[in-house]
């Protein structure tokens, strides 16, 4: 992250730390490399996403369950970013 995050962005970054390797695998790279430069709408969607419960996030990221429509595009982006980095 190159720019200094706002207080609200810091809160979202803190909430994004899940402590589950399976979720951190997708979320951490996005936070480090893309979150602060994302559009305000995408940042708001991400902030809402990290408020969701871990079992739901696991289903959406790992078990290909259909996420809530508001999150589908962002989850696909996080998965693609991880795939592209490998």
What's the confidence (pLDDT) of residue 3?
A: 76
Q: 């979150």: which residue's tokens?
A: 35
Residue ranges of the domains in the chain?
7-84
What pTM was estimated for this model as a whole?
0.91
Average pLDDT on 9-29 reads: 95
- The model's pLDDT over 32-77, given as tens digits with 9 standing for 90+, comes to 999 999 999 999 999 999 999 999 999 999 998 999 999 999 999 9
Average pLDDT on 24-30 reads: 95
Cα 28 to Cα 3, 25, 53, 60, 84: the distances in Å are: 17, 6, 17, 16, 15
Per the document, the length of the chain is: 86
| CATH T-level fold of 7-84 | DNA polymerase; domain 1 (1.10.150)
User: What's the rounded Cα separation, in Å, for the pair 55 and 29?
Assistant: 20
Question: Residue 47 — left, alpha, or beta (φ > 0 → left; ψ -120 to 50 → alpha)?
Answer: alpha
């Amino acid at each position: 992250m190159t720019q200094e995050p706002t207080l609200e962005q810091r809160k979202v970054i803190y909430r994004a730390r899940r402590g589950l390797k399976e979720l951190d695998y997708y979320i951490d790279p996005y936070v480090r490399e893309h979150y602060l430069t994302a559009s305000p709408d995408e940042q708001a969607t991400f902030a809402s996403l990290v408020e969701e419960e871990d079992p739901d996030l696991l289903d959406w990221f790992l078990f290909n369950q259909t996420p809530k429509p508001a999150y589908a595009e962002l989850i696909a982006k996080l998965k693609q970013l991880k795939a592209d980095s490998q």
